[in-house]
């Protein structure tokens, strides 16, 4: 089943397949490592992760490049304020970024180049543009791209720039540019700033040229897909197209995917609004990493998502339902034989699931058949109409689901413990929710011991003691369930 994915460039759903028939070559704009990422950043990376995982599920290999922008105005400014070299300043944020990706189970791209390791490629690209008369140097030693050299400018963002007359409202001279819309390729070094000595002069690369140079270096001049957040459409991606296609005379990326924004309480997330959350903030409030992942990917990427704490609670409930079901499926004992109705339901669910994802990665739609199967299989089990031979096909549906959603395996405590360790190191223990401190303070082994004692008490029909243990564990956020085939527990 071929994935049909919305293409910003054509404005329609286009099939996404590798042009070379082997591996899909994709480039995704990565983080600028000047601070901790916020959940809006991670929504984009999560949906790109959904894309690559679905491609894998469909048997398509991927060559995925994500850059790290480790030099830009904010980094230079902040590093200077901290009295550090930029590399020293960015290193911890880069590390934190990957820790957060791990917590959210985002798979690593095949290649993760840093901007500062690819400056020569950027310089070469600017020189190539200069030879074609599309790049020029200004008095201060900066280099700009001449938008007039690329008539198709605006084709991605569908902007009509004809109304923007030079000189009408912008003082062109002030910028030393030929046209107010021309953008920087290379910024001349200012005293004390990080810079590179190059044939272009001493300076540093502009943001747009970074991505063009690295995409071409690792994927070739023309490749399958370029992805990023919706805010990058203009000017970043528009500029990438202009400079890349001018230089090579070939189409840059065939397909453009843009993930829409995450809003908080109906508004864009911003520090000034006081609705700005990092992943760490949420983990320390006691929300599970898996719930954050599920909540952020359950709204399809082409719709803005309105983030609320309630959405995390909802996702937690949904995950519990799925995990409980899977454990019933794997540990339950079922009579020999098979129920054809269950087999048919599993097959139908699997097909509906894949079809939904193939339709522009409709994650909301894809969940439905999985939950429908959970209900019908649970019903069959309750009625004793679920047989041993049905187990495999139902598990297969869960496996397909989890190949993309990746929330069934409980690894939440790991991520939470790492966040707690970080909070301790950076003096943020005051932000930790009290319930979380309690829950994290008890080990699995201690819980097992108490649960075993309770099972024994129940056997003796000592319900007072049994209830006492249950209440004691509940205080630490541990829930006990007495099922027919034994007692199990979970962390809330």
**Cβ distance to RNA smaller for residue 63 or 236:** 236
Measured in degrees and rounded to the nearest 5, phi and psi for residue 478 equal -105, 130
- CB of residue 473 vs RNA: minimum separation in angstroms? 11
* Residues of span 172-231 touching RNA by CB under 7 A: 183, 207, 228-231
- CB of residue 39 vs RNA: minimum separation in angstroms? 8
* Residues of span 354-413 touching RNA by CB under 7 A: 359, 362, 364-365, 367-368, 371-372, 374-375, 378-379, 381-382
Tell me the torsion sign for CA atoms 134, 140, 141, 143. negative
- CB of residue 263 vs RNA: minimum separation in angstroms? 5
**Cβ distance to RNA smaller for residue 132 or 462:** 462
Contact 328, 484 (CB under 8 A): no
Long-range contacts of 50-53 (CB under 8 A, 24+ apart): 50/297, 50/301, 50/361, 50/363, 50/404, 51/5, 51/26, 51/227, 51/257, 51/361, 52/26, 52/107, 52/109, 53/107, 53/403, 53/404, 53/406
What is the rounded CA–CA span in Å between residue 94 and residue 37?
10
Strands 143-145 and 183-188: antiparallel
Task: Confirm or reject binding of residue 43 to RNA (CB under 7 A).
Answer: yes
Task: Confirm or reject binding of residue 325 to RNA (CB under 7 A).
Answer: yes
Task: Confirm or reject binding of residue 166 to RNA (CB under 7 A).
Answer: no
Q: What string of DSSP letters covers 435-483?
A: HHHHHHTS-HHHHHHHHHHHHHHHHTT-HHHHHHHHHHHHHTTEEEEEE
Among 79, 259, 419, 451, indicate the residue that binds RNA (CB under 7 A).
Answer: 259
Sequence-distant (≥ 6) Cβ neighbours of residue 471 within 8 angstroms: none
Q: How far is CA 299 from the centre of its chain?
A: 13
Q: What is the DSSP letter of 233?
A: I
Write each residue from 407 to 446 as x if it is in contact with RNA (CB under 7 A), else as -, in one continuous string: ----------------------------------------
**Cβ distance to RNA smaller for residue 392 or 482:** 482
Write each residue from 57 to 86 as x if it is in contact with RNA (CB under 7 A), else as -, in one continuous string: -----------------x------------
Measured in degrees and rounded to the nearest 5, phi and psi for residue 177 equal -105, 155
- CB of residue 270 vs RNA: minimum separation in angstroms? 8
What is the rounded CA–CA span in Å between residue 21 and residue 333?
45
Residue 148, Cβ density class (10 Å: 0-12 exposed, 13-18 middle, ≥19 buried): middle
- CB of residue 325 vs RNA: minimum separation in angstroms? 6
- CB of residue 260 vs RNA: minimum separation in angstroms? 7
Task: Confirm or reject binding of residue 349 to RNA (CB under 7 A).
Answer: no
Task: Confirm or reject binding of residue 234 to RNA (CB under 7 A).
Answer: yes
- CB of residue 362 vs RNA: minimum separation in angstroms? 5
Binding site for RNA (CB under 7 A): 29, 31-32, 40-41, 43-44, 74, 183, 207, 228-232, 234-236, 259, 261-263, 266-269, 298-300, 303-306, 308, 310-311, 313-315, 317-318, 320-321, 324-325, 328, 359, 362, 364-365, 367-368, 371-372, 374-375, 378-379, 381-382, 458, 463, 466-467, 479-483
């Amino acid at each position: 089943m071929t994935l049909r994915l919305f293409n910003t460039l054509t404005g329609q759903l286009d099939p996404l397949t590798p042009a070379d028939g082997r591996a899909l070559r994709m480039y995704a704009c990565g983080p600028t490592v000047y601070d901790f990422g916020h959940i809006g950043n991670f929504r984009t990376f999560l949906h790109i992760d959904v894309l690559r995982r679905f491609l894998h599920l469909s048997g398509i290999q991927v060559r995925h490049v994500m850059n790290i922008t480790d030099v830009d105005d904010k980094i230079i400014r902040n590093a200077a304020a901290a009295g550090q070299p930029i590399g020293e300043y960015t290193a911890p944020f880069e590390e934190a970024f990957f820790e957060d990706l791990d917590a959210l189970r985002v798979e690593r791209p095949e290649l993760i180049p840093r901007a500062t390791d690819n400056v020569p490629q950027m310089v070469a690209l600017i020189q190539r543009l200069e030879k074609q008369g599309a790049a020029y140097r200004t008095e201060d030693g900066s280099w700009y791209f001449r938008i007039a050299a690329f008539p198709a400018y605006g084709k991605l963002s569908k902007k009509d720039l004809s109304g923007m007359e030079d000189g009408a409202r912008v003082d062109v001279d002030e910028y030393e540019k030929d046209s107010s819309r021309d953008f920087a390729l290379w910024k001349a070094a200012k005293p004390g700033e990080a810079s590179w000595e190059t044939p272009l002069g001493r300076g540093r690369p502009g943001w747009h040229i970074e991505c063009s140079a690295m995409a071409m270096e690792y994927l070739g001049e023309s490749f399958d897909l370029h992805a990023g957040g919706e805010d990058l459409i203009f000017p970043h991606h528009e500029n990438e197209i202009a400079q890349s296609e001018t230089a090579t005379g070939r189409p840059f990326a065939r397909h453009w995917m843009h993930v829409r924004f995450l809003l908080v309480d109906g508004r864009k997330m911003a520090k000034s609004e006081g609705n700005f959350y990092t992943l760490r903030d949420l983990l320390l409030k006691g929300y599970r990493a898996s719930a954050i992942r599920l909540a952020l990917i359950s709204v399809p990427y082409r719709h803005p998502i309105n983030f609320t704490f309630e959405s995390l609670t909802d996702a937690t409930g949904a995950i519990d339902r799925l995990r409980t079901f899977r454990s019933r499926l794997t540990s339950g004992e079922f009579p020999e034989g098979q129920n054809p109705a269950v087999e048919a339901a599993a097959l139908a669910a699997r097909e509906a699931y894949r079809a939904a994802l193939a339709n522009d990665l409709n994650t909301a739609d894809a969940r439905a058949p999985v939950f429908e199967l959970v209900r019908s299989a649970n019903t069959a089990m309750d009625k004793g109409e679920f047989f041993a031979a049905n187990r495999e096909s139902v598990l297969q549906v869960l496996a397909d689901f989890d190949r993309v959603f990746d929330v069934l395996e409980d690894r939440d405590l790991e991520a939470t413990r790492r966040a707690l360790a970080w909070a301790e190191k950076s003096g943020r223990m005051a932000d930790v929710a009290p319930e979380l401190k309690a829950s994290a303070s008890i080990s699995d082994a201690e819980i097992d011991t108490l649960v075993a004692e309770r099972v024994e008490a129940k056997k003796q029909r000592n319900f007072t003691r049994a209830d006492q243990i249950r209440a004691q564990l509940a205080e630490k956020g541990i829930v006990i369930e007495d099922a027919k085939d034994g007692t199990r527990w979970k962390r809330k």
